[in-house]
Amino acid sequence: MTVVAKGSLEAHTLTGADAGNATLTSNGATVEATRLTVTCRYKTENTDVGRITGSANRSGQTATFHIEGKIPFHSGSGLCGENPTTWTGSYLVNTPMTLDFA
């Protein structure tokens, strides 16, 4: 996988029992995958990609991005198909120690 464009992430504050956490939307991020000379590109367009938990630092933990999203097909070989690809992962935020969504 190669990142063609970084794009941006937007956090959407949650309330109630999830207060201090947020959902994530990605826009303009483009990745390219090449396998056996077949190149496929996927791009986020206001795509829901997961959640941020631990952001209020209520339990002394750092925030974590929990990524689970379907990234739409953008361009490339006809062999790629037109289905989205799955992006999953977990990213621990080291700096800043606390993320605050007001």
Q: What is the pLDDT of residue 22?
A: 87
Q: Which domain holds residue 23?
A: 2-92
Confidence of residue 24 (pLDDT cuts 50, 70, 90): very high
Model confidence over 27-54: pLDDT tens digits?
A: 999 999 999 999 999 999 999 999 988 7
pLDDT beyond 90 at 63:
no
Is 102 contained in some domain? Answer: no
Flag whether 99 is in a domain.
Answer: no
SS (H, E, C) 8-74: EEEEEECCHHHCCCEEEEEECCEEEEEECCEEEEEECCCEEEEEEECCCCCCCCCCEEEEEEEECEE
pLDDT tens per residue, range 78-92: 999 999 999 999 988
Q: How many domains does the chain have?
A: 1
CA distance 58 to 28: 32
Q: Does residue 97 lie in a domain region?
A: no
| pLDDT of res. 45 | 95
